[in-house]
């Protein structure tokens, strides 16, 4: 009986000492003071989201003072998801400020053939160079990814979790941050 108790204690002690993988949701960047960047998801999981050309995606943010943030405003559910995604993308502005760059997003949305600015005022369809298109489960997402075609970035997710993973991936790409770096 005593040997069984010692054996059981040993197994419990050893299993407690084995390091379990843990989620990492916060990072710091050298040169950014005490700024902590907090992510919605584990950055290792976010880093696994597909991106077709990370350097071109990053360059759009580094080479422009403004990127248009475009989405189809026809789905209330996707609009709610996009609100969270845009909030999470605010880290990009903070990062670029620490890098000595002024940067902003210009949100635009459309429903049908009508286009609107950030105040909900109807506008003419703008030229869409240097834009970030958000696609959610009800507004055209057919996967979870961050891709670039020309000067247009497409961030898409098939549900809320996947949208936040794709947004975290975009932030990691702009930061040029790889887990373990």
CATH number for the domain harbouring residue 84: 3.30.379
Residue 66 resides in a domain: yes
Rg value, the chain, Cα: 21
Query: Is 117 within 8 Å of 108 (Cβ atoms)?
Result: yes
What's phi and psi for 121, nearest 5 deg?
Answer: -80, 130
Residue 118 resides in a domain: yes
Count how many domains the chain has.
1
Structure tokens at 79: 């609009």
What is the domain extent for residue 72?
A: 52-175
User: Do β-strands 37-38 and 131-135 pair in parallel, antiparallel, or remain unpaired?
Assistant: unpaired
Q: How far apart are alpha carbons 56 and 86 in whole angstroms?
A: 21
Residue 56 resides in a domain: yes
Q: How far apart are alpha carbons 55 and 9 in whole angstroms?
A: 52
Q: For residues 50-77, b (16+ Cβ closer than 10 Å) or e, as one string?
A: ebeebebbbebbeeeeebbbbbbbebee
- Note the pLDDT of residue 179: 87
What's phi and psi for 130, nearest 5 deg?
Answer: 50, 65
> What is the pTM assigned to this prediction?
0.88
- Note the pLDDT of residue 6: 60
Residue 78 resides in a domain: yes
| Helical residues (DSSP H) of 41-142, grouped into ranges | 43-47, 54-62, 76-98
Residue 28 resides in a domain: no
Residue 71 resides in a domain: yes
C-alpha triplet 164, 70, 146: angle, nearest 5°: 45
Residue 157 resides in a domain: yes
- Note the pLDDT of residue 135: 98
- Note the pLDDT of residue 12: 58
pLDDT (tens place) for every residue of the chain, 181 residues total: 667 556 555 565 555 555 557 899 999 999 999 999 999 999 999 999 999 999 999 999 999 999 999 999 999 999 999 999 999 999 999 999 999 999 999 999 999 999 999 999 999 999 989 999 999 999 999 999 999 999 999 999 999 999 999 999 999 999 999 987 5
Task: Give the position of tokens 């759009």.
Answer: 60
What's phi and psi for 159, nearest 5 deg?
Answer: -160, 180
Residue 35 resides in a domain: no
């Amino acid at each position: 009986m005593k040997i069984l108790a010692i054996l059981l204690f040993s197994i419990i002690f050893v299993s407690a000492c084995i390091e379990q993988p843990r989620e990492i949701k916060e990072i710091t960047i050298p040169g950014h003071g005490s700024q902590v960047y907090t992510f919605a998801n584990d950055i290792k999981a976010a880093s696994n989201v597909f991106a077709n050309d990370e350097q071109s995606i990053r360059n759009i943010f580094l080479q422009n003072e403004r990127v248009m943030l475009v989405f189809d405003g026809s789905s209330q559910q996707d609009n709610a998801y996009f609100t969270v995604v845009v909030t999470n993308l605010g880290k990009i502005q903070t990062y670029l400020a620490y890098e000595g760059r002024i940067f902003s997003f210009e949100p635009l949305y459309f429903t049908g053939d009508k286009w609107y600015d950030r105040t909900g005022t109807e506008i003419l369809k703008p030229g869409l160079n240097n834009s970030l298109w958000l696609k959610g489960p009800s507004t055209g997402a057919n996967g979870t990814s961050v891709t670039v075609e020309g000067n247009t970035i497409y961030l898409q997710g098939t549900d809320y979790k996947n949208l936040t993973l794709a947004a975290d991936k975009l932030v990691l790409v702009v930061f040029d941050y790889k887990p373990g770096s």
